[in-house]
């Protein structure tokens, strides 16, 4: 059985330029994603995330010079049609939440397209993109956490003494790595648009579960129909 050969270039002064702007897009994606999740119900958050598919297609055509068939464009527009119907009848409209999600769509699309682009950079490869993208943002993330006071709260958190919390935390870290590695692999073998669409498939389950869990989803027939146009 062949062993897994993980190789990528050593760190040098040119590497930040090679990997840029992926770390910034990664941070922006997470910050706006958390902000949107906090402000909106899960079904509305997931349906508004569909706009990232259109943005990915546009950015991929402009940045990577990729052409798309009319059938594919029509399919994407049909998905967005459902999102517009759901959003137009959202009984719990929150302007700040919508702004967070739409910004998250931009960061998601840009991150997917630039990930695909950086995978072709000599010396990086899929393992280099995965490792250095995470490595470079460590210091800015720690500084931002210290500035906002989140780092102090994390240090003082009493849950670190709980074995069950530590196990769940470690499990979350492992699953986070698996998720990022899966995204890199999918982008390596497929287009950025394919990766975005596959990532949106999970939102079907999230939307339906979110209708019953959380208590912040307000039902209306137009909204429900829009949510079901995937």
Q: Could you tell me the residue ranges of all domains in the chain?
A: 16-228
Q: How far apart are CA 37 and CA 45, in angstroms?
A: 6
Report the C-alpha gap between 220 and 226 in whole angstroms.
10
**Predicted confidence (pLDDT) at residue 219 exceeds the cutoff of 60:** no
**Is pLDDT larger for residue 6 or for residue 147?**
147
pTM score = 0.75
| 118 class by beta-carbon count within 10 Å (0-12 exposed, 13-18 middle, 19+ buried) | buried
Q: CA-CA distance, 103 to 177, in Å (whole number)?
A: 24
Q: What is the pLDDT of residue 1?
A: 37
**Is the dihedral angle over the CA atoms 139, 142, 145, 146 positive or is it negative?**
negative
Confidence of residue 86 (pLDDT cuts 50, 70, 90): low
Selected residue with higher pLDDT from 56 and 79: 56
Percent over 90 (pLDDT), the chain: 10
The structure tokens 């940045």 sit at 63
């Amino acid at each position: 059985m062949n062993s897994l050969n993980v190789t990528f270039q050593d760190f040098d002064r040119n590497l930040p330029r090679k990997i840029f702007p992926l770390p910034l897009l990664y941070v922006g994606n997470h910050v706006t994603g958390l902000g949107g999740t906090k402000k909106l119900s899960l079904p509305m958050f997931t349906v508004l995330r569909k706009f990232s598919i259109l943005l990915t297609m546009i950015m991929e055509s402009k940045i990577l010079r990729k052409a798309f068939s009319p059938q594919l464009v029509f399919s994407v527009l049909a998905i967005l049609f459902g999102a517009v119907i759901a959003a137009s009848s959202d009984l719990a409209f929150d302007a700040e939440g919508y702004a967070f999600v739409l910004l998250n769509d931009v960061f998601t699309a840009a991150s997917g397209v630039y990930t695909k682009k950086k995978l072709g950079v000599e010396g990086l490869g899929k393992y280099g993109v995965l490792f250095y993208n995470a490595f470079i943002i460590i210091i800015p993330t720690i500084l931002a956490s210290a500035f906002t006071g989140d780092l102090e709260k994390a240090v003082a958190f009493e849950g670190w003494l709980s074995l069950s919390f530590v196990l769940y935390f470690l499990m979350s870290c492992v699953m986070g790595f698996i998720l990022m590695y899966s995204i890199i692999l999918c982008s390596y073998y497929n287009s950025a648009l394919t990766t975005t669409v596959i990532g949106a498939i999970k939102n079907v389950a999230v939307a339906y579960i979110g209708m019953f869990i959380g208590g912040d989803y307000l039902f209306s027939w137009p909204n429900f129909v829009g949510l079901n146009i995937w």
